[in-house]
């Protein structure tokens, strides 16, 4: 089955700086990689995803990069704002189900 | 689009009670629904995968007789926590995936279950 590792577990950044979260996966057949943002007590919300036929995808201040050879993908948040503070999860599919990373607590300080 | 409705949002009940949680896809047909459990400050732990019209597939360590899953239609799956005990207290979240390859999961709002 899939094994997903996510780092770092916590990330503190100054407002305006960039944040990067990295995930590695084990199943070479995985071909779809979503990132979720979860605020306390709320549902995980899809913020960006990438399919294996591209190496990078960007949506305003958020971008995801994928290295299929090395089996890792990263979330990049630029010009961070206090409302970016949340827990972020990566996920990778395997055999019809998703394995989630352990999560990264991002704290953006003004 | 792609809205998943989960009810109830919060349940507080006595030990020994059975609790039923509903998960509905409102504007799409969900070929697969997932049930997760989440402890404070932890990741989502997959409990079972539910496909319409077939038996759910449970993850290792999840008791199928304890957590009954029914996926009667392409828009509704239910999770029943039978004879709940305090250790079953947790945040339960469902998600649904539409038809086609590489579709994103859409999550319900979750149900906070507290067993006294």
Task: Judge whether A24 and A69 are in contact, CB under 8 Å.
Answer: no
A70: left (phi over 0), alpha (psi -120 to 50) or beta: alpha
How far apart, in whole angstroms, are the C-alpha atoms of residue B78 and residue B114? 18
Residue B55: its pLDDT value, please? 87
Rg over CA atoms, chain B:
13
Question: What digits encode the pLDDT tens for the residues B31-76?
Answer: 899 999 999 989 999 999 998 888 899 999 999 999 999 988 889 9
Structure tokens of A94? 């395997």
CA-CA-CA-CA torsion for A39, B2, B35, B15, nearest 10 degrees?
70
Percent of chain B with pLDDT over 90: 76
Residue-wise DSSP of A14-58:
ETTS-EEEEEE---TT--EEEEEEE-TTS--EEEEEEETT-SEEE
CB interface of A with B, residues 17-76, below 8 Å:
31-32, 34, 36, 41-46, 49, 51
Q: Tell me which chain B residue has its CA closest to the CA of residue A10.
A: B41
Residue in B9, B41, B43 to test binding to A, most A beta-carbons within 10 Å: B43
**Mean pLDDT score, A81-86:** 97
CA distance linking residue B94 with residue A58, whole number of Å:
28
Q: Which of B43, B106, B108 sits opposite A103 (nearest CB)?
A: B43
Verify whether the Cβ–Cβ distance B44 to A97 is below 8 Å: no
Q: Summarize pLDDT for A55-73 with one digit per residue, the tens.
A: 999 999 999 999 999 999 9
Cα B99 to Cα A18, B9, B74: the distances in Å are 36, 27, 10
pLDDT averaged over chain B? 93
| Max CA separation in chain B (angstroms) | 42
Query: For residue A22, with 0-12 CB atoms within 10 Å meaning exposed, 13-18 middle and 19 or more buried, which class applies?
Result: middle
Q: What is the pLDDT of residues A26-48, one digit of tens each?
A: 998 889 999 999 999 899 999 99
Encode burial over A75-108: b for 16+ CB neighbours within 10 A, e otherwise: bbbeebeeebbbbbbbbbbbeebbbbbebbebeb
Q: Count of A–B CB contacts within 8 Å?
A: 47
| Test the A interface: residue of B40, B41, B102 with most A CBs within 10 Å | B102
Q: Given this model, what pLDDT does residue B61 score?
A: 93
Q: Which residues contact B69 (CB under 8 A, 6 or more apart)?
A: B35, B48, B50, B56, B77, B78, B79, B80
Measured in whole angstroms, the distance separating CA A81 from the mean position of its chain's CA atoms is 17
């Amino acid at each position: 089955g899939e094994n997903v590792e996510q780092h770092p577990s916590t990330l503190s950044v100054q407002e305006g700086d960039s944040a990067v979260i990295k995930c590695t996966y084990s199943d070479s057949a995985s071909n779809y990689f979503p990132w979720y943002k979860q605020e306390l007590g709320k549902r995980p919300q899809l913020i960006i995803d990438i399919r294996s036929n591209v190496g990078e995808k960007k949506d305003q201040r958020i971008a995801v990069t994928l290295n299929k050879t090395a089996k890792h993908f990263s979330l990049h948040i630029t010009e961070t704002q206090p409302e970016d503070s949340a827990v972020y999860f990566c996920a990778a599919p395997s055999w019809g189900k998703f394995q989630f990373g352990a999560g990264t607590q991002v704290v953006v300080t003004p | 689009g792609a809205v998943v409705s989960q009810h109830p949002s919060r349940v507080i009940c006595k030990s020994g009670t059975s609790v039923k949680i509903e998960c509905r896809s409102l504007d799409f047909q969900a070929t697969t629904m997932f049930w997760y459990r989440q402890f404070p400050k932890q990741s989502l732990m997959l409990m079972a995968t539910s496909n319409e019209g077939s038996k759910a597939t449970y993850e290792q360590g999840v008791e199928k007789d304890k957590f009954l899953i029914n996926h009667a239609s392409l828009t509704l799956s239910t999770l029943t926590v039978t004879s709940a005990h305090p250790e079953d207290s947790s945040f339960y979240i469902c998600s649904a995936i539409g038809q086609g390859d590489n579709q994103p999961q859409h999550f319900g709002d979750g149900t906070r279950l507290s067993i006294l």
